[in-house]
Chains A and B, each alone.
Chain A
Amino acid sequence: MLLKNTWNEFIKILSKPRSYLGVGALTLLIGIIIFAMKADGKSIISFVTASFEQTLTFNGHILNGYLIAFIILQMLIVHVPLLVALVTGDLIAGEAAMGTIRMLATKPISRTNIVLSKFIAGAAYTLFIIIWMGFLALFVSTTIFGTGDVIVLNSDGLVILPEADVLWRFGAGFCVAFLSLLTVSSLSICLSAFAENSIGPIVATMSVIILFTIIGSLDVTVFDTIKPYLFTTHMVSWRSFFEDPVPWSTIRQSVIILVAHNVVLVAIAIVRFNKKDITS
């Protein structure tokens, strides 16, 4: 029954225009980034390498598809949560707003399973978004720009990764990025369980992300104790796969915290939905 209801939930997602809005926006954004890189990519790269190029010269195919894919992932991971929340924030609250939640509750399925099916359907949509993003970022970029070594800039300096050592990093990076977006999906479903209209959970989800991101980026010691527990701190963990050596313990910690967030948020949503008054 859970799987059947999950399939129904997924069909509901597919039937909503907003689901395609996210995919369309993502396609357009990636298209714009690829166009910008094609038009003026070298000056963007030299912005990063300028101080090094006073003394050194970088030879080789620097502006390649893998680098573009990395830049796309870095740019969009901040914005994609909105596209995910736009759909998942509506999953419970949308039913409440339309009044279909009562009909849903008459089905021979527990309320817990209703929330779980919505969570799984939301996860499937998030996975589709990530796969689409990966396809556009990697496949389209490498088709246009070719492949090559990747220059990654982090707070320690430049890391230049050989071409042969890049694809698995992208694969693992996309997996962690999926887990990050899944947390956003769970948060919006959780907030959706508290709301009667879909705008509230979407706006609240984005507000939480913005608030946590600002706290995380403030270099103030008073926040140092809470920063490791904010899910937004770990949303950029996919980048760790592009460090050398890969900080496995940091990634493991991030995965644990993101999974914990998902479990807690879905649990809260289940408890709330089980207690939710849908009769009045």
Chain B
Amino acid sequence: MIKIAQLLLLLALPLLSSAQTVDDILSKVLTKLNSVKDYKVSATIKANIPMIKILPNEATIYFKQKDKFKVESKGITILPKQGFTDINNFLAKKDYIAVINDTVTTGGVKTYLISVIPNSAGGEMILAKLWIDPERSVIMKSQITTKSNGTVTTSYTYGDQVKYGLPSKMVFEIDIKKFKLPKSVASDINKSSAEKKKKIGNKGTITITLTDYQVNKGLSDSLFK
């Protein structure tokens, strides 16, 4: 009987240690993200979305804790609705269950694939999958599934701001199945029904290259109004 109990304990040990590691890993990531009180960064936004034609655009992105976010651009820019502040906010609440699913190599970096599920069903987020580099405590890839916005997968590349957990490049993969054009506005009598029905893909990408970070320089609240 004692031997069976010891065996069960032995089997459960990795799970227990895994649970501690998950909290530890996420806590380190969150600490790093929270070390950024504010930032200003220049962004080059390149969208490759089947139903949207737009040239690459320059913008300036401002962020201030905890969820103030602003994009300034000369022209029209397209950004994903989620992926900038929502992971920080979600992890900061600590109202979730997290488990390590696997160890995966992403972008040549060994990462832990961690699934994060919110405890309450009332929030917008359904599931977050995070690929975390335990060495640098940064998110290398994320897959966020929300109730209203579907699933957005984001890959992160880091440069000299890795100490703050701020990426130098983000690639968002967006689900465009929900995109619909209002028929009355989009009707084009020059195109036959066969032309209109040509198949388009289900995924689009938005690549944001971030340069010239100015971190913790103190941004005024009035900037975000």
Q: Bound complex: CA of A54 vs CA of B189, how far in Å?
A: 28
Report the minimum CB–CB distance from A32 to chain B (whole Å): 19
B54/A54 in contact, CB under 8 A: no
Write the A234-248 contact mask toward B (1 if CB under 8 angstroms, else 0): 001101100010000
Q: Which A residues lie within 8 Å of B150 (CB)?
A: 54-55
Q: A interface vs B, CB < 8 Å?
A: 47-48, 51-62, 148-149, 151, 153-160, 162-163, 213, 216-217, 219, 221, 224, 227, 233, 236-237, 239-240, 244, 250
Instruction: Report A42 CB to chain B, min CB distance, Å.
Output: 14
Can you report 13 residue pairs joining A to B where beta carbons are below 8 Å apart?
A: A51-B179, A52-B179, A55-B80, A55-B152, A55-B176, A56-B79, A57-B78, A57-B79, A60-B76, A155-B186, A156-B51, A163-B74, A239-B188
Check if B187 is an interface residue, CB within 8 A of chain A. Answer: yes
Which of B182, B190, B195 touches A237 (beta carbons < 8 Å)?
A: B190
8 Å CB contact of B181 from A56, A153, A163, A219: A153
Residues in A whose Cβ lies below 8 Å from that of B179 = 51-52, 55, 157
Partner of B53, one of A53, A160, A221: A160
A247 to chain B, nearest CB (A): 9
Asked if A162 contacts B148 (CB within 8 A), the reply is no
Chain B residues lying within 8 Å of A47, measured Cβ to Cβ, are 182, 185
Partner of B191, one of A155, A160, A221: A155
Most central of A157, A219, A239 by chain B CB within 10 Å: A157
Q: Does B178 contact A (CB under 8 A)?
A: yes
B59 interfacial contact with A, CB 8 Å: yes
Which residues from 129 to 156 on chain B have a C-beta closer than 8 Å to any C-beta of chain A?
A: 148-150, 152
Q: CB < 8 Å: which of A55, A62, A162 contacts B175? A: A55
* Chain B residues, CB < 8 A from A227: 189
- Of A154, A156, A163, most buried by chain B (CB within 10 Å of CB) is A156
